[in-house]
């Protein structure tokens, strides 16, 4: 069994003050006793979808709690002060596309991005909206939070697997999405590998990233947690020498060989060592969320099909101005530099970067100087993925209250993500009763992206 360790963050509470303990899981690798060879066997079996051979991948940046559209990509500088907020727009590298002044790194890459300003779904429950967006179907809600359907990442694991042999299909960092990044009835073998702990997002430096030194081996390899890189490497080197001497590697099946490659010298293990990156690039990304974004790029390079990461908690019912002054610059560096980095490396066309939360926030600032839940309008950012970019899709009225053109819904959002990895909404998986079930009940990719 493989475990990733991380430092816990302080407990967080959502807008209804329900506490959530910081915790660490290792998805399918650690849950319910499923070992790494079993996971890899599950990933290699039963995938007949032609897109399984593709190198297409997704990085989902989840803005937990829901970003304010008026303070990011749908600014209304001519609206009354109680609507427009404290921040001003700045020009991007695409004439006519302005972004918030706190997003200068985004401004550099808008020619490689699309902003959907007219996203709308009408459900203001955190849990219900997150479940809907991450799975394509309604199910859980604030009173009954059990996942009812598999996430898009789990479906990609089930139908496609990783983009390279010896890798993993899905990785999730720092939760986000209220636990709906998992596989539900598709089975624990399609849960993402999870690392880090839930991040409330109001403090710099509280967002741990996993590293190569955080891997530990159990069940006959070591009874103690190995928390430093030197000890781990010594352990793994010794295991490798024993395997070579006993020639036992030749007697293992493909899944066991792949598991050993992953742990001993595999590309996923190496991907977690972001210390291999140039210091100047790490500085550009920044700490915390930036390290997650850099790790996401390295994981995609290592063959992970679907990576999700969380840049904090954006449910700012009060004091939204100081909260966003803290959070948005860090989010800007993580996402903006990620897009630049992927483009420089020639990876962007094969990697969809999608940035969203479960809904937007109220156009009118409330009496506590914050914004409340507003699912009627949200701005969503897309980059790469083989789509056409440098554009805005849709529009809202003069206060960003509701779409006035080209309304885009949840099923369309899922169609965009699925198409980026070669899947269609009418592809199917078998549900608990064995019946074929479409990935999403409907939806289509907006023609403007094609």
Q: Look at residue 332 and give its three-state secondary structure.
A: helix
**Residue 353 or 250, more confident:** 353
DSSP-assigned states of every residue in 387-449: ---SEEE-EE-TTSSSEEE--B-HHHHHHHHHHHTT--TT-EEE-TTS-EEESSSS----GGG
Exposed / middle / buried, residue 212 (Cβ in 10 Å: 0-12, 13-18, 19+): middle
Q: What is the pLDDT of residues 123-142, one digit of tens each?
A: 999 999 999 999 999 999 99
Query: What is the C-alpha to C-alpha distance for residues 231 and 237, in angstroms, rounded to an integer?
Result: 10
* CB-based contact 396:68 (threshold 8 Å): no
Q: What is the pLDDT of residues 359-407, one digit of tens each?
A: 999 999 999 999 999 999 999 999 999 999 999 999 999 999 999 999 9
Mean pLDDT, the chain, rounded, equals: 82
C-alpha distance across the termini of the chain, in Å: 43
Q: What is the pLDDT of residue 364?
A: 97
175: left (phi over 0), alpha (psi -120 to 50) or beta: left
Exposed / middle / buried, residue 439 (Cβ in 10 Å: 0-12, 13-18, 19+): buried
Q: What is the pLDDT of residue 191?
A: 87
Q: Which residues are registered as beta bridge partners of 88?
A: none
**Mean pLDDT of the 244-252 span:** 52
- Percentage of the chain beyond pLDDT 90 is 66
DSSP tag of 369: B
**Confidence tier at 65 by pLDDT (50, 70, 90):** very high
Domains and CATH numbers, the chain: 23-210+284-449 (3.40.720.10)
Q: What is the pLDDT of residue 36?
A: 55
Q: Lowest mean pLDDT: which of 113-117, 197-201, 241-245, 317-321?
A: 197-201
Q: Lowest mean pLDDT: which of 207-221, 257-271, 374-388?
A: 207-221
CA distance readout (Å), 372 to 17, 67, 312, 388: 15, 10, 17, 33
Q: Which residues of 290-324 are buried (b: 16+ CB within 10 A; e: fewer)?
A: bbbbbbbbbbbbbbbbbbbbbbbbbbbbeebeebb
Angle in degrees, CA 354, 215, 168, rounded to 5: 40
Backbone angles phi, psi at 184, to 5 degrees: 50, -130
Q: What is the pLDDT of residues 322-361, one digit of tens each?
A: 999 999 999 999 999 999 999 999 999 999 999 999 999 9
**Residue 31 or 89, more confident:** 89
Q: Lowest mean pLDDT: which of 22-31, 136-145, 182-191, 260-269?
A: 22-31
* CB-based contact 380:409 (threshold 8 Å): no
- Give all strands (DSSP E) within 120-210, no chain letters: 170-173, 193-195
Q: Is the pLDDT of residue 30 over 70?
A: no
Query: What is the C-alpha to C-alpha distance for residues 173 and 289, in angstroms, rounded to an integer?
Result: 10
Q: Which residues are registered as beta bridge partners of 13?
A: 19
* Count helices and strands in the chain by DSSP H and E runs: 13, 20
**Mean pLDDT of the 404-415 span:** 98
Query: What is the C-alpha to C-alpha distance for residues 83 and 310, in angstroms, rounded to an integer?
Result: 27
Selection from 282, 334, 301 nearest residue 61 by Cα: 334
Q: What is the pLDDT of residue 234?
A: 54
Q: What is the pLDDT of residue 177?
A: 81
**Mean pLDDT of the 139-166 span:** 93
Q: What is the pLDDT of residues 296-305, one digit of tens each?
A: 999 999 999 9
Which residue shows structure tokens 């100047």? Answer: 280
Q: What is the pLDDT of residue 203?
A: 34
Query: What is the C-alpha to C-alpha distance for residues 384 and 352, in angstroms, rounded to an integer?
Result: 5
Q: Look at residue 378 and give its three-state secondary structure.
A: strand
**Mean pLDDT of the 112-120 span:** 98
**Confidence tier at 196 by pLDDT (50, 70, 90):** confident
Q: What is the pLDDT of residue 178?
A: 84
Selection from 302, 163, 192, 179 nearest residue 294 by Cα: 302
DSSP tag of 318: B
């Amino acid at each position: 069994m493989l475990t990733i360790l991380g430092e816990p963050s302080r407990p967080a509470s959502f807008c209804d003050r329900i506490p959530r303990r910081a915790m660490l899981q290792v998805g399918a690798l650690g849950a319910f006793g499923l070992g790494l060879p079993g996971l890899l066997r599950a990933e290699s079996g039963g995938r007949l979808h032609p897109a399984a051979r593709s190198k297409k991948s997704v990085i989902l940046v989840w803005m937990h709690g829901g970003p304010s559209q008026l303070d990011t990509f749908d600014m209304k500088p001519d609206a009354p002060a109680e609507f427009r907020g404290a921040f001003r727009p700045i020009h991007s590298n695409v004439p006519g596309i302005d972004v918030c002044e706190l997003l200068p790194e985004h401004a550099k890459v808008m020619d490689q991005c699309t902003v959907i300003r007219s996203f709308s779904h009408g459900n203001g429950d955190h849990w219900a909206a997150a479940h809907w967006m991450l799975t394509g179907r309604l199910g859980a809600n604030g009173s009954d939070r059990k996942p009812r359907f598999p996430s898009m990442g789990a479906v990609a694991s089930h139908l496609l697997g990783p983009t390279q042999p010896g890798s993993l299909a899905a990785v999730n960092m720092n939760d986000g999405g209220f636990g709906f990044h998992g596989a539900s009835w598709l089975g624990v073998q399609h849960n993402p590998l999870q690392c880090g702990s839930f991040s409330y997002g109001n403090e710099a430096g509280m967002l741990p990233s996993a590293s190569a030194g955080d891997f530990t081996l159990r069940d006959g390899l070591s009874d103690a947690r190995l928390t430093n890189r030197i000890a781990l490497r010594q352990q793994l080197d010794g295991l490798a020498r024993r395997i070579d001497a006993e020639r036992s590697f030749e007697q293992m099946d493909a899944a066991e060989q792949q598991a050993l490659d992953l742990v001993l010298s595999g590309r996923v293990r190496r991907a977690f060592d972001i210390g291999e990156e140039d210091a100047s690039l790490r500085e550009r990304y920044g700490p915390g969320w930036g390290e997650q974004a850099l790790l996401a790029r390295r994981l995609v390079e290592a063959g992970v099909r679907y990576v999700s990461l969380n840049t904090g908690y954006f449910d700012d019912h009060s004091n939204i101005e100081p909260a966003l002054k803290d959070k948005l610059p860090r989010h800007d560096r993580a996402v903006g530099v990620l897009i630049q980095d992927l483009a420089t490396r020639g990876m962007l066309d094969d990697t969809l970067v999608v940035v969203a939360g479960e809904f937007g926030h109220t156009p009118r600032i409330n009496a506590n100087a914050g914004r409340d839940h507003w699912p009627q309008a949200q701005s969503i950012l897309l980059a790469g993925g083989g789509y056409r970019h440098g554009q805005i899709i849709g529009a809202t009225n003069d206060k960003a209250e509701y779409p006035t053109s080209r309304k885009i819904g949840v099923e369309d959002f899922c169609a965009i993500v699925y198409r980026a990895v070669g899947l269609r909404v009418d592809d199917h998986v078998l549900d608990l009763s064995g019946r074929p079930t479409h990935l999403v009940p409907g939806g289509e990719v907006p023609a403007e992206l094609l």
